Structure 1
């Protein structure tokens, strides 16, 4: 099983350059200010309210194929930006990428409106170092194992942890990204990328229909509903996938496989294998386990955009199965 040290050492190598302080690395430092917490609340609450309004509004207005198309396209662009870019590439170094793809993945992940790439990666590397133990930023077992404690912990793991004033040190957990001028720039420009992500569906809807109503419905479905859905699917990997699910592989935490989240999470909900082998480019390794992120990485490899991909071999997978560990004992 890969250790937390392996996760940091296997991450994409740092770019050369002078030391960079947290103030110049990305938005915010190691303390979250009140204005950041208020902004975060708006980014969470407004799309969530849109989801609550979606069904009655769809019943009254209907929903066009254009609106649904924008929702799906922008959803999976942002989702794969998170799963392939922020997670498998920047956090774990599951493959190496040519410079244009590296920057494109940073931008795509930023369009998911889940925070700046450097901060996202720092949080996730810390999560792997302390997974479901003291120090984990978002373990659902934070408060104990009783039903009330777990319910409180699920809330914390799902979204409560993001309002914590103390932030993960970016210099400690993501020094390679802090030192990369291009990635540092994308991270600092997060607000601009988030605004673009929210603005584009409405612009496209308005231009296609040549109406303000078309712009509004496209913004409603393609921006607000899409962002809320993607947020809660992503956060469910932190909460649900660390509380329930099958655990066929040996890991030092409570990560589990949750099949019904696989398509919407782009393969991330095969979470038990991921924590058993964090640098693996494929999470869904068993028959029938859909993992669209791994498929895209394979296409990138075939196109020559990605190389040194860490595909899991049969022996590597077998060595991480619980029955294999038991037989060896």
Structure 2
């Protein structure tokens, strides 16, 4: 079974079910805060912790490996595949993407997808769960909006109605099972680097430093890069394409976000498999999708088309479609 995204406008035309499905339980709300705050504290402590001790090549290697493994699970899996249907995946790839994305500790796959489909249905308007423009355009309102879009919205207790926004995933037995396994995958993503660090260095200290760097700091860094797409990429940057929202391309995050920060391009063509469509725009996620396509694991990939993007080009901007844009 593959994921199919209804056109965002259809949410407003049909409105078949309520936008929300109640509130998080106190336990769920506490866990969200715990998973958001504890890695953040580790990230804040990382500079003094690394000052002359506590950081080695094993830690860096494990942190980078798990960062890209779980980050690509979010960018390719949760976002481009499950949310937007940018390609079709065989069963093995679909399961692997759901597992890898879940290990990013950004929430279970079905809830993540439901929130993001809701974001596209109501981008920067009432109903968007994380618009930085929610409170107005004054400096104080934008400061409040930035916090809300970046991570404040996670602490709200309202829950997006998955029956409305992700019925396809609820009906997928594999994905529903992985969604329920999120607590176990959270344990795995935190303990696996520590186990590997201990085994590689043959020391308990190697396990401790790997846990700090490749578990806590890695999770926090990926969290804030992902959340920056919600906040920064709806506030500042280049807007070459017309969109009904304030999405923008923010190049400094292109590598760390694995191509997700070409956000205006994405909102102009939500189902496109490549977000960095213009010449010179790096998109690691798109390159990996291209490899999946070559291996036969991904099919019906929706690569950007010049005619479709050209119709959405804002005045004063040239398309300059990269040579590899239509091939990944």
Q: TM-score, normalised by structure 2?
A: 0.90
Distance 1:8 1:100, change over 3 A: farther
Distance of 1:180 and 1:285 partners within structure 2: 31
Distance of 1:49 and 1:5 partners within structure 2: 39
Distance 1:7 1:95, change over 3 A: farther
Is 1:234 matched up with 2:226? yes
Cα deviation for residue 323 of structure 1 reads 2.6
Contact in 1 for aligned 2:268/2:309 (Cα 8 Å): no
Paired position in structure 2 for 1:63:
55
Distance of 2:210 and 2:316 partners within structure 1: 51
Q: Residue deviations 1:215-244, cap 9 Å, x none?
A: 000000000000000000000000000011
Is 1:143 matched up with 2:144? no
Contact in 1 for aligned 2:135/2:145 (Cα 8 Å): yes
Distance of 1:73 and 1:259 partners within structure 2: 23
Cα deviation for residue 8 of structure 1 reads 8.9
Paired position in structure 1 for 2:75:
83
Paired position in structure 2 for 1:280:
272
Paired position in structure 2 for 1:22:
none
Contact in 1 for aligned 2:259/2:283 (Cα 8 Å): yes
Of 209, 233, 236 in structure 2, the residue corresponding to residue 244 of structure 1 is 236
Cα deviation for residue 118 of structure 1 reads 0.2
Paired position in structure 2 for 1:26:
none
Contact in 2 for aligned 1:247/1:257 (Cα 8 Å): yes
Paired position in structure 1 for 2:262:
270
Paired position in structure 2 for 1:183:
175
Distance of 2:201 and 2:22 partners within structure 1: 45
Is 1:202 matched up with 2:194? yes
Distance of 2:181 and 2:8 partners within structure 1: 26
Secondary structure, aligned partner of 1:85 = helix
Is 1:131 matched up with 2:123? yes
Secondary structure, aligned partner of 2:220 = helix
Contact in 1 for aligned 2:54/2:209 (Cα 8 Å): no
Is 1:168 matched up with 2:169? no
C-alpha root-mean-square deviation of aligned residues, in Å?
A: 1.6
Of 295, 305, 311 in structure 2, the residue corresponding to residue 319 of structure 1 is 311
Distance of 2:9 and 2:39 partners within structure 1: 34
Q: Residue deviations 1:189-225, cap 9 Å, x none?
A: 1011111000000000011111110000000000000
Paired position in structure 2 for 1:25:
none
Paired position in structure 2 for 1:93:
85
Secondary structure, aligned partner of 1:61 = coil
Cα deviation for residue 46 of structure 1 reads 1.1
Of 292, 299, 302 in structure 2, the residue corresponding to residue 307 of structure 1 is 299
Paired position in structure 2 for 1:6:
7
Secondary structure, aligned partner of 2:277 = coil
Unaligned runs of 5+ in 1: 10-28
Contact in 2 for aligned 1:7/1:278 (Cα 8 Å): no
Secondary structure, aligned partner of 1:269 = coil
Contact in 2 for aligned 1:122/1:169 (Cα 8 Å): yes
Distance of 1:111 and 1:35 partners within structure 2: 20
Cα deviation for residue 60 of structure 1 reads 3.5
The list of structure 1 runs, each at least 4 consecutive aligned residues, that deviate by more than 2 angstroms after superposition, is none
Distance of 2:40 and 2:157 partners within structure 1: 22
Cα deviation for residue 5 of structure 1 reads 4.4
Cα deviation for residue 62 of structure 1 reads 4.5
Secondary structure, aligned partner of 1:167 = strand
Distance of 1:8 and 1:76 partners within structure 2: 33
Cα deviation for residue 79 of structure 1 reads 0.6
Secondary structure, aligned partner of 2:39 = helix
Cα deviation for residue 30 of structure 1 reads 3.5
Cα deviation for residue 322 of structure 1 reads 1.2
